[in-house]
Amino acid sequence: MESRKKLYSLIVLSLILGTVAGFYFGNNAENSKTIIVKNTANEDVAAIPDENRKKLTLLKLDLLKSYTDFVLLPKEKIVDPVKYADEMGAKVKAINDNELTVKFYATGETVDKEQKIVDFLDFLNASINADLN
């Protein structure tokens, strides 16, 4: 069980680092922006029963993978981006976390989009790590 937690943590950390590196190296030098990665923890996890927590954690991991694919894959790889985004929205709704929902929908805004994406991924990572601990 401990090794599984470490594996999930390693996968989540790799996805976050890959996303941050992509934004860092993807920006032009004259158009660079500062991206702040915060580490927040979800304290409400203890109130959720174990079986539901496991389902939520798996759903969050699936959302993290889907969102990372959506952000990093070329547009041609995603057949129907609107449907893909709607499916991610359904996952967010199923998770039913107000802060996660707000951060997810904020990534669709154009102002400071890169920072909002990193904030969402960081929040999701912290939430998954809190679920695994």
The SS3 assignment for 83 reads: helix
- Give the pLDDT confidence score for residue 73 in this predicted structure: 78
Q: How far apart are CA 15 and CA 116, in angstroms?
A: 16
Q: What is the pLDDT of residue 108?
A: 81
Q: Where are the domains of the chain?
A: 2-132
| Distance of alpha carbon 130 from the chain centroid | 14
> Residue 120 contacts by C-beta under 8 Å, 6 or more apart in sequence?
67, 100, 103, 104, 106, 107
Tens-place pLDDT, residues 44-54 = 545 555 778 78
What pLDDT is recorded for position 48? 54
Residues of the chain below pLDDT 50: 28-30, 41-42, 45
- pTM of this prediction exceeds 0.75: no
Distance CA(24)–CA(34), nearest Å, equals: 9
